Amino acid sequence: MSGRVHDPLVGRDLVSGVVMGMSWVLVFEIGLWFRMRAGGAPQFPTQDYLGIRQAAGSWLSTLVISILGTLLFFFALVLLRVLVRNTWLAAALFTTLFTIPKVLGSDHLVVDILVWTTIYAIAAVAVVRFGLVVLGIASLMANVLLNLPYTLDFSYWYAAQCFFIALIFVAIGAWGVYASLAGKPLFGQSPLES
């Protein structure tokens, strides 16, 4: 908040947020694969690529949803922490509280319980262990990446856009690694410097 983007703690939070966001996406996609193998319907990305105006509106609404979700998770966890006076019990209650509505109407109960429990446990750990910035980055990354149509076939018209968006998160993670090192070399001292 004070503008110290080179602070190693900010770098650590960026890297942690990217890793946690990637883990959310991975858990969700594995769960989707199991649901589809069990006869569930595939889910299609909701991003609208009809033009610049529609894409801008879609990205801004994703940003707003990520901010609101982050603040809701943070507020719920803080409130539970105040009520039960134990951080990890509050995290377990948070995970249970947010998982139950996701699985009540599920056609694939076991898969959805595992997926949503894992996703909300990652969110709880993000807040308890790291804080609000990590949760915000993870939420934004998951919301964006889960709404992209993935393909490795660059003949599709949307492939370059999706690849570019994924590279943005790679760049955020790389900046986080660079900032967290605080000017130290990545792999220790060079043998030529000895």
Q: Whole-prediction pTM value?
A: 0.81
Residue 147 pLDDT = 80
Residue 63 pLDDT = 86
CB hemisphere CA count around 76 (13 angstroms): 17
> How far apart, in whole angstroms, are the C-alpha atoms of residue 194 and residue 190?
7
Domain boundaries, the chain: 8-39+48-182
Low-confidence residues of the chain: pLDDT under 50: 194
Residue 25 pLDDT = 92
Of the candidates 140, 2, 131, the residue with the CA atom closest to the CA atom of residue 62: 140
Specify burial of residue 98 (Cβ count, 10 A radius: 0-12, 13-18, 19+). buried
pLDDT in tens, 87-141: 999 999 999 999 999 999 888 899 999 999 999 999 999 889 888 889 999 999 8
